[in-house]
Amino acid sequence: MEIDIQENDNLVIITVHGDIEMMTIKTFKQKLFEVGQNFDKDIEIDLSDVDYIDSSGVGVLISLLKLQKKKEKALKMEKVSSKVLNVLKLSSLSDVFNL
């Protein structure tokens, strides 16, 4: 898994390439919380290049969403692969992330 981070004036864009699962979750969690804690900006996560996400990955997204809400900032996921979208729909989380 590879994670790219780009910062604009009002937004941090996190692009994830590869699967989010047990073997990569530590890096995924570390990078996302690093951004969440160090930037007081909205965050957009691009998951269009992610074919698989497990429950631990979904948990990290929920935790980041809570952190952003606490700071009164947004977490956007506008680019999501169909496989990840299916997981979020099955988990009844597509509405939570406004997908």
pLDDT digits (tens, 9 = 90+) for 20-66: 999 999 999 999 999 999 999 999 999 999 999 999 999 999 999 99
7 within some domain: yes
95 within some domain: no
Give me the CATH number covering residue 11.
Answer: 3.30.750.24
- Domain count across the chain: 1
96 within some domain: no
User: Which residues span the domain enclosing 9?
Assistant: 2-90
The predicted structure's pLDDT at residue 53:
94
Burial 46-75 (b: 16+ CB within 10 A, else e): bbeebeebeeebbebbeebbebbeeeebeb
The predicted structure's pLDDT at residue 98:
72
pLDDT at 5 over 90: yes
The predicted structure's pLDDT at residue 33:
94
37 within some domain: yes
Query: Average pLDDT of the chain?
Result: 92
98 within some domain: no
